[in-house]
Amino acid sequence: MDELVPALEDLVRRTAAAESRAPAVWLHVQAPRLPLRWQGGAGPAANPAGRPAPSLRIASNTKTFVAAAVLRLVEDDALDLDTPLARLSPPATVATLRAAGYDVDRLTPLMLVQHTAGLRDYATLHVYLNRVSAAPAHRWTRAEQLQLAMDDGPPLTPPGAAFHYSDTGYILLGEVIETVTGQSMPRALAELLVYRRLGIKNTWFETLEPEPAGAPARTLQLFDEVDAARFDPSVDLFGGGGLVSNLDELARFYRAVVRGEIFTQPSTAATMLAVSPQSLAGGGPGYGMGIARLEHAGVVCHGHGGFWGTDVWHCPAIDVTVAAAVTSTRSRKALRAMTVEAIGLAAQAGLPR
């Protein structure tokens, strides 16, 4: 413990010094068995010592929230993961999928949540990125993004056959949540995921709901060298991304998910964390339902990263949670390196496994 904090401070300073492209770097570590709750930042735009890390767009970390909400609906008997999308999605969505060759009578929420639906990913298409760059203030709709994925070509694989990471599947899941609950996605997630009980007060869907009073100040985030605030939030808003949060609340949420504290049934967390065979086929560490698996220094962790520069992992065997952020998309490789080094430092600190 006496050596861990200086080592974490040094890690943040080294990362910031090596990544001058990122205005700031933050690291948040919780290790209750030590006990330790530490947060630090470095870089020209980092907050002064002792101040909370700012609010950030968290991009694909949103997927974990969406997946957990889907599983809460399953617990409430409001949704069956094997129900065909033809019976869950609005008619316009069903028609769009059918017209592109997708078998909506076989596609299911299980395939969407595990990225095994064979859907093309609108978010990585050159045509999409070019349009975003050309018209950053354009207000996208879910239907426009879905249509771009459909226009790119036929399904990549038959339903359930292979793992293909796809934001398209998660914007469809957001729509399913709205259809099943009769609520907006932000309201449904806040209720299903018991934000109030968890103490999550400053996490919100940008422009889909008001910014909470008292939320930490927003920070500069760069897409390459361009201020990400130039891009309308709708470029990544409808379930594949869209949340704004902070490292404290992200750590709080991921701890609660992995520990099963969000769910009503003990088996649900294990179901969510279990990696699919399809995700293992390429030799990677595996992906469950809106949450990935990582192993470092002999410790297994579960979490997710986000495009704009966020990374959150909870390691249950040592009860350590690491949440980290960089403020440039060009520094995401360094972000993951900082995260896994922090996990390794905590594992070396004498924690029982």
Q: What is the pLDDT of residue 49?
A: 57
pLDDT band at 299 (very low <50, low <70, confident <90, very high): very high
pLDDT tens-digit readout, 144-179: 999 999 999 999 999 999 999 999 999 999 999 999
Is residue 344 predicted with pLDDT exceeding 90?
yes
**Measured between alpha carbons, how far is 353 from 318 in angstroms, rounded to an integer?**
5
The residues facing 300 across adjacent strands are 295
Backbone angles phi, psi at 222, to 5 degrees: -110, 135
Q: How many domains does the chain have?
A: 1
Instruction: Give the ranges where the chain is alpha helix by DSSP (H).
Output: 4-18, 62-75, 91-99, 109-114, 126-134, 142-151, 167-181, 185-192, 195-198, 247-258, 266-273, 277-280, 332-347
Q: What is the CATH number of the domain that holds 24?
A: 3.40.710.10
Q: What is the pLDDT of residue 106?
A: 98
Coil, strand, or helix at residue 169? Answer: helix
In a domain, 133, yes or no: yes
Q: What is the pTM of this model?
A: 0.97
Angle at alpha carbon of residue 282, lines to 280 and 286, rounded to 5°: 30
Is residue 272 predicted with pLDDT exceeding 70?
yes
In a domain, 14, yes or no: yes
pLDDT tens-digit readout, 76-133: 999 999 999 999 999 999 999 999 999 999 999 999 999 999 999 999 999 999 999 9
Do residues 21 and 331 touch, judged by C-beta distance below 8 A? Answer: yes
pLDDT tens-digit readout, 42-73: 998 886 655 678 999 999 999 999 999 999 99
pLDDT averaged over every residue in the chain: 95
Q: What is the pLDDT of residue 349?
A: 85
In a domain, 352, yes or no: no
What is the signed CA dihedral for 16, 18, 23, 25, rounded to 10 degrees? -30
Q: Is 121 left (phi over 0), alpha (psi -120 to 50) or beta?
A: beta
Q: What is the pLDDT of residue 284?
A: 84
In a domain, 164, yes or no: yes
CA distances to 47, 53, 83 from 50, rounded to whole Å, are 8, 9, 49
Output the six-digit token pair for 26.
Answer: 């933050």
In a domain, 353, yes or no: no
**Long-range Cβ contact pairs of 104-109 (< 8 A, separation 24 or more):** 106/158, 106/159, 106/160, 107/159, 108/81, 108/82, 108/83, 108/84, 108/159, 108/160, 109/70, 109/79, 109/81, 109/82, 109/83, 109/85, 109/173, 109/176
Find the mean pLDDT for residues 4-32: 95
Is residue 352 predicted with pLDDT exceeding 70?
no
Output the six-digit token pair for 316.
Answer: 């249950």
CA distances to 71, 137, 140, 212 from 201, rounded to whole Å, are 22, 28, 27, 7
Higher pLDDT, 332 or 3: 332
Q: What is the pLDDT of residue 46?
A: 86
Percent of the chain, pLDDT > 70?
Answer: 97
**Measured between alpha carbons, how far is 14 from 9 in angstroms, rounded to an integer?**
9
The CB density around residue 207, as the number of other CB atoms within 10 Å, is 14
In a domain, 266, yes or no: yes
In a domain, 254, yes or no: yes
Find the mean pLDDT for residues 330-352: 90
Is residue 353 predicted with pLDDT exceeding 80?
no
Is residue 197 predicted with pLDDT exceeding 90?
yes
Residue with tokens 């992992």: 313
Q: Give helix then strand counts, H and E, for the chain.
A: 13, 11
Q: What is the pLDDT of residue 237?
A: 98
Q: What is the pLDDT of residue 182?
A: 98
Backbone angles phi, psi at 349, to 5 degrees: -85, 15
In a domain, 100, yes or no: yes
Do residues 102 and 196 touch, judged by C-beta distance below 8 A? Answer: no
Find the mean pLDDT for residues 1-12: 91
Domain range enclosing 43: 4-347
Residue with tokens 């767009």: 57
Residue 98, judged by CB atoms within 10 A of its CB (0-12, 13-18, 19+), counts as: middle
Is residue 340 predicted with pLDDT exceeding 50?
yes
pLDDT tens-digit readout, 219-265: 999 999 999 999 999 999 999 999 999 999 999 999 999 999 999 99
Q: What is the pLDDT of residue 94?
A: 98
Q: What is the pLDDT of residue 350?
A: 63
Coil, strand, or helix at residue 41? Answer: strand
